Amino acid sequence: MNRDVLEQDDEVLEDEKLQHRITERLEEDPAFHVGKSSRGRLTVEVEDGEVTLRGSVRTARERRRADILARALGAATVHNRLRVEDEKP
For the chain, the domains span 3-84
Predicted pLDDT at 33: 72
Architecture of domain 3-84: 2-Layer Sandwich (3.30)
pTM of the shown model: 0.78
Residues 6+ apart with CB under 8 A from 48: 11, 15, 76
* Cβ atoms within 10 Å of 49's Cβ, excluding its own: 13
Residue 75 DSSP code? -
Give every residue of the chain whose pLDDT is below 50, as ranges: 1-7, 37-39
Predicted pLDDT at 30: 87
